Amino acid sequence: MKKIVPVLLLALLSACARPSDGPTAGNIRSATLPNTNEKIAVIDLANAPASTSNASIMSYSAGPGLAALRNTGYNAQRLRRGDVVDITVLDTGEDGLFSSTQSKTLNLGRFTVDQSGNVNLPFVGRQRVIDSTPEGLQNQVVAGLKGSAVNPQAVVTVVDKPTSAVMVSGAVKTPGKIALTARQERVLDAISQAGGPAVAPGAATVTIVRGQQRASATLDRVMREDRQNVRLSPDDQIMIDGDASSFTALGAFKSAGEFQFETGKLTLAQAVGRAGGLLDDRADSRNVYVFRTEEVPLRSVGPTASKERAEILTQKRPVIYRVNMRDASSIALMQMFQMQKGDVLYASNAPLVDAAKLLTVFQKSVPTAAAPQPGSAN
């Protein structure tokens, strides 16, 4: 009877408080969402949706990205706020504006287009020039001189265009202002002139702020899709977010920890290799899991007066993928399953490992009280 009691006690304790460094396979299969008690989906790797494969990830693109911006580009001939023009007028008539002088030409000087898009010119007055061209301003000057000149002519030269630049900041090697030219630079041109990205393209997000508009896309998507490589406009703000993707390996791996990778270029098989593989004496190779948060479509919203395209509302939901690494076919599937940013890779302990830990706890002797020091009082 005395021998049976410790065994019963061991069984009772192992059922309610086994020493372990993570959830068991049973805990994972019965996991629920906090507050709602809704069960978290556990999907075998063989039943994983096609969107987790390499081909689908590389071809999938969420939303319009940078293509949402109007691809107007930069016209170097258009006058903009802050541009400086030099204006010279001529009058070949004998009784015209310059009849009292020997010269038939007069340099009116240099003028800056103000924030309202206007310039104030002698003899002509206030002229609206924003988005006009030098030739257009010449015609405005000639029209304004009619009546005071017999045969007026004008020459308009743009001497400075300080606003024809974009700002590139963030994860590039040499951030700063990039001047625009008549070549009509695109996003990749500006990033190249800024020294290139400081992180891998898959780990970089490009955001363009243009007035009240804002649009974002990953750099690798900009490199893949020509429509994402939009033409730039003056005063565009180009920000490169270099937040690198990473996954975390926990549990019975030889090298648990956080590992950075380039999105779309790391398979589950490679991730297990990054973590050093499974511990032979601890891991339950039938129960390896990938914990992930995915966008789940809820419902479709049709086009409205303010939006031309229909939108799909989504919600982030946790999902768990199970891998049985004892099954040879799973190894092949692991080569197609793509890791995503924030994934948690977990290898559970084999059932006997936790039981062995419990036995080790009970085998430890209870510490005895230290003997009293000689001469100490009882």
In angstroms, the Cα distances linking 244 to 28, 187, 200 are: 28, 21, 8
Distance, CA of 185 to CA of 230 (rounded, Å): 9
In angstroms, the Cα distances linking 114 to 119, 121, 344 are: 7, 12, 56
Distance, CA of 323 to CA of 265 (rounded, Å): 20
Q: Give the N- to C-terminal CA distance of the chain in Å, as an integer.
A: 39
Please answer whether residues 315 and 298 qualify as being in contact, where contact means their C-beta atoms are separated by less than 8 angstroms. yes
Please answer whether residues 220 and 265 qualify as being in contact, where contact means their C-beta atoms are separated by less than 8 angstroms. no
% of the chain residues with pLDDT over 90: 39
pLDDT at position 152 is: 86
CATH number for the region 10-62+245-356 comes to 3.10.560.10
pLDDT at position 74 is: 63
Which is higher by pLDDT, 111 or 315? 111
Domain 70-75+164-241 is of which CATH architecture? Roll (3.10)
pTM exceeds 0.75 for this model: no
Residue 149, token pair as written in the block: 């000149």
pLDDT digits (tens, 9 = 90+) for 5-17: 454 444 544 444 4
How many Cβ atoms are within 10 Å of 73's Cβ, its own excluded? 14
Domains of the chain by residue range? 10-62+245-356, 70-75+164-241, 84-160
Overall average pLDDT of the 203-209 stretch: 91
Burial class (CB in 10 A: 0-12, 13-18, 19+), 178: buried
pLDDT at position 80 is: 82
Beta-carbon contacts of residue 370 (< 8 Å; ≥ 6 apart): none
Is the pLDDT at 4 greater than 60, yes or no? no
Average pLDDT, the chain: 81
How many Cβ atoms are within 10 Å of 273's Cβ, its own excluded? 12
Is the pLDDT at 305 greater than 70, yes or no? no
pLDDT at position 90 is: 86
Distance, CA of 125 to CA of 114 (rounded, Å): 14
Q: Which amino acid is at 356?
A: A
- Two domains, one topology: 10-62+245-356 and 84-160: no
Q: In which band, very low, low, confident or very high, does the pLDDT at 234 lie, cut at 50, 70 and 90?
A: confident
Burial class (CB in 10 A: 0-12, 13-18, 19+), 240: buried
Distance, CA of 301 to CA of 312 (rounded, Å): 6
pLDDT at position 153 is: 87
pLDDT at position 37 is: 85
Q: Which residues pair with 237 in a beta bridge?
A: 167, 209
In angstroms, the Cα distances linking 224 to 61, 102, 168, 296, 338 are: 11, 64, 21, 25, 18
- 3-class state of residue 287 by DSSP: strand
Please answer whether residues 222 and 245 qualify as being in contact, where contact means their C-beta atoms are separated by less than 8 angstroms. no
Beta-carbon contacts of residue 70 (< 8 Å; ≥ 6 apart): none
Please answer whether residues 149 and 96 qualify as being in contact, where contact means their C-beta atoms are separated by less than 8 angstroms. yes
For the chain, give the number of residues: 378
pLDDT digits (tens, 9 = 90+) for 46-78: 898 876 665 444 444 457 899 888 766 566 678
Domain 84-160 is of which CATH architecture? 2-Layer Sandwich (3.30)
pLDDT digits (tens, 9 = 90+) for 148-173: 777 888 999 988 877 788 999 999 99
